[in-house]
Structure 1
Amino acid sequence: MMSESELTTILIIDNHSIDLRILLDLFSQKQVNLFWINPDKAAVSMEKLSLADLIFIAVSVLGENEYLLCQHLQSSGLNIPIVLITTSQNQETIKTGLSLGVIDYLFTCLETEEFLLKLNNYWKLAENRKEVRQSFNQLKQELETERRENLQLKNINYQLEIKVESQQEELQKSIIESENNQIALEQCFKKIKIIQTQLVNNEKMSILGQMLAGIAHEINNPVNFIYGNLAYVQEYTDNLLKIFELYQQYYSNPHPVIQQEVEAVELNFILEDLPKMLESMQVGAERIREIVLSLRNFARQDGSQMRATNLHEGIDSTLMILQNRLKRKQDHPAIHVIKEYSSSLPLVECYGGEMNQVFMNILANAIDAIEENNQQKNIEELQVNPGHILIKTDIINDHNVVIKISDNAGGMTEEILAHLFEPFFTTKPVGKGTGIGLSISKNIVVEKHKGSLQCISTPGKGTEFIIEIPITQEMPTQKHEYKKQVSILTQGN
């Protein structure tokens, strides 16, 4: 059995002025919901009106209430079919009703069979409307359900998006944190490696210093003995030569045996060459003393405290150690060293041994660069523009000293320059460079002496290293930024 919501709903507005038994008999045989409303109450029963599939207005004559009802239904947009059952056949009344939404008239004067056929057709119309209404309601429910599901799905998606974004942010943070940890770990390992290398290098320098100091001491003793006696040898020789000249003056005709021996030993050559030999020995001994002094100066042990140091002596000592690399070779001329020392440069409070190490690293790199650049030139080019190293010293603002070491080895690219002071960065072949020298030098200058170490390089021209340190550690350090200048480009002239 069908539920009430599934039955066709027919609303009858009746003022009891017309006999509706035929209508009741017909619909009693159908599965319909019948509602009865008095015309006076119809205007206030819109809830029931909206549920109807068909409306019959049964009045003998259309009155004001019926007109108002029709107007109300027409303006409501419900589109419910209205059939007027009446006894009046007035044309004006019919036209008015049709204009207000009435679809048809049933006159009580019709034959019973015709009346029933029309009622039956209206019932079918109501059935169709019911099916359409139900389909519409079902579709409306489905759309509402779909809307709610879509809204729910949208909310779920929104929540999922929030969760995904949150997880992505957490993941991104984790990735960044992991990358930072990785970078920190790599930096830590790099620092450890630097410290290990520095410790090894310091140990090597310490051993080298002790060895050089020992060698210098061992050489210095016999050299001092020789150097100290050369003056007496010179004096004795001068005396002997003077006596021999007297013999030649007062005994001009010696015994033939003596004359024969004089000619055999080439006495005249000996008399001429002996002073020259003594002078060469004097120069050689002084040269050995200078080398010993340079070795002792370069190999000095700084200890834990800074000392007032002559930086010029440190540079000269370093150049003395590197002298063999500066000499003329078979495939290229000598590397000229030009010194422009400031005569007013004071003693500087520093670790002299470590500053010598800085000079050694920079000067050795300059020699390497010049040798590599020389391989790309022919003999004529090298003779016209030989490799040279320019060393300048000066005082800045009464607080700092600056040492500039430049070469004409062709310079470096910006890419190499950007990584120059990074630990273990090197452009040299495997086995020829560790990439730690300049990093250690920067650490010595910047960290230990509160100074600065900068590099300016012009591709095709040359490179200049600028070392700036305070004269004393109590003085304020005002570091300067050095930029490329034309003077750097013309340093090879």
Structure 2
Amino acid sequence: MSSPINNSILIVDDIPTNIKVLFDILNQNGFRVSVAKNGQSALAKAKEALPNLILLDVMMPGIDGFETCRRLKADPKTKDIPVIFMTALSDTVDKVKGLKLGAVDYITKPIEYEEILARINVHLELRRTQLKLAQEEKMSSLGQLVAGIAHEINNPVNFIYGNLIHAQNYITDLLDLLKLYETHTSDPSPEIKEFSENIELEFIKKDLPHLLSSMAMGTERVEQIVRSLRLFSRLEDIEFQPFNLHEGIDSTLIILSHRLKASPTRPIINIIKEYSDIPLVECYAGKLNQVFMNLLANAIDALEESVVNQKTTDTLTIWIRTAVTDDQKSILIEIVDNGIGISPEVQQNIFEQFFTTKPLGKGTGLGLAIAHEIIVEKHGGTLQVNSTPGQGAQFLITIPIQQVIG
């Protein structure tokens, strides 16, 4: 696993004294700090580490701060990283030039302790908000796309499904009629005999009912997938609605079904559902589906990683359990896997924004943070994790059955 990414800052300055002052200030306040002593090094480190923010000196030999900023903003991988210029220049023209190049702020040297922390925290918070809004917009767009696809598939599927029963009846009647002809025609003509043999009539009579049954089953499966897509896409809910949590979990499993199948690198992932008899829950259905998606996708990731690292010989399994809590006021949802597990250090930070153990480009660190917000802040529930490294992980959700408005 790679190191967690959490409020990392890249300092770019060619003067060692400035670097030390900044490094000490930021390190003491819990930031992960990396250093570059020139523009060329800054471009390489920014692309490799993708820090949450860059403190960039203007006056440097070689590639100065302005050119470094221009190149950062021109690179798709680094263009969204906030850049704060550090300069002793007080000329307004220089500040305007930096802002036009894409910088978000200026800090004037000599560095003031409280000022730099205040400006950094403001822009990190803005960055958090932007990424969170982008993630929510992404999920909303996904919901709209899924709803659109479901709608487009629904009409032709309904047409096929509705007409299959008539096709079955027609073909049954035709087979019965053929049987009557065979019964009352003891000596068919050579032409009929030859044609019957050529088309393998006896096989057709036996196979056709099975073929129609398979078509009906396939159509039912497509209709089930469409229902799941429509259910999963309820991201636009603006008020609490009664919702069947089991339907939400099942719809999410159908969306993820391609990831559960066996692949060249691992066996099938088994899903064991231990559902209790639970009532409908007042909730934002689409948002809860988003939580199920994140937790189940993470469980699949953990199982796949356990195979890659050869840390398990067990059957890959995810257990999903539901129950009413003892006080009869909430529903308990338990999602358990027998993957690689989670270390105590990671468990302490797992629901923080931008915290991830996945390699760069594989995770934003927003999935579990948003899941925690949806459960705790939007529904008044709880989301907890219990795990022992090497022995899998357990995520526990409680959701109030009824929401208290007011």
Question: Normalising by the residue count of structure 2, what TM-score does the alignment of the two structures yield?
Answer: 0.70
Once the two structures are TM-superposed, the CA of residue 197 in structure 1 deviates from its matched residue by 1.8
Paired position in structure 1 for 2:151: 217
Cα distance between partner residues in 1 of 2:115 and 2:399: 35
Identity of aligned residues (%): 50
Query: Which one of the candidate residues 264, 278, 289 is aligned to 2:223?
Result: 289
Deviations 1:436-476 (A, max 9, x none): 10011111111111111111011120101111121111299
Aligned to 1:356: 289
Q: Is the 8 A contact 1:302 1:352 kept in 2?
A: no
Q: Following the alignment from structure 2 to structure 1, what is the Cα–Cα distance between the partners of residues 239 and 380?
A: 15
Match of 1:469 among 375, 399, 403: 399
Q: Report the more deviating stretch, 369-378 or 322-331.
A: 369-378
Tell me if structure 2 keeps the 8 A contact 1:298–1:353: yes
Call closer, same or farther: CA 1:371–1:454 in 2, change over 3 Å: same
1:451–1:468 contact (8 Å) kept in structure 2: yes
In the alignment, the residues of structure 2 paired with residue 424 and residue 357 of structure 1 have an alpha-carbon distance, to the nearest angstrom, of: 18
| 1:453–1:465 CA contact under 8 A, matched in 2 | yes
Q: How does 1:163-242 map to 2 (within 5 A)?
A: 186-242=120-176
**Relative contact order: is structure 1 or structure 2 higher (C-alpha 8 Å, sep ≥ 6)?**
2
Q: Deviations over 1:168-200 (max 9, x none)?
A: xxxxxxx99x87776665554443223212211
Distance 1:402 1:269 in 2: 53
In structure 2, do the counterparts of structure 1 residues 366 and 183 end up closer, same or farther at CA, with 3 Å as the change threshold? farther
CA distance change for structure 1 residues 331 and 288 in 2, over 3 Å: closer, same or farther? same
1:303 Cα offset (Å): 3.1
What amino acid maps onto 1:406 in structure 2?
V
Structure 1 unaligned blocks of 5 or more: 1-174, 477-493
Kept in 2, the 8 Å contact 1:399–1:475? The answer is no
Cα pair 2:237 2:286 within 8 Å, conserved: no
| 1:371 corresponding residue in structure 2 | 304
CA contact (8 A) 1:408 1:463 kept: yes
Question: Residues 219-272 of structure 1, C-alpha deviation per residue, up to 9 Å, x if partnerless?
Answer: 010000000000000000000000111111111210001101001111111111
- Structure number having the greater helix percentage: 1
Letter in 2 for 1:402: L
Q: How does 1:101-120 map to 2 (within 5 A)?
A: none
Match of residue 244 from structure 1: 178
Deviation sequence 1:346-391 (CA, Å, 0-9, x none) = 111111101111111111011001001011339xx64xx1111011
Q: How many residues align?
A: 297
Distance 1:186 1:339 in 2: 47
1:299-336 deviation line (CA, Å, top 9, x unaligned): 01343211111111111111000000001112221100
1:376-423 CA-partner distances (Å, limit 9, x unpaired): 339xx64xx111101111111111111111100021111111221111
The equivalent residue for 2:379 is 449
1:387 and 2:321 aligned: no
Give the unaligned 5+ runs of structure 2.
Answer: 1-27, 30-111
TM-score (norm 1): 0.58
Partner of 1:329: 263
Match of 1:40 in 2: none
Structure 1 pair 330–202 and aligned structure 2 pair: CA distance change class (3 A): same
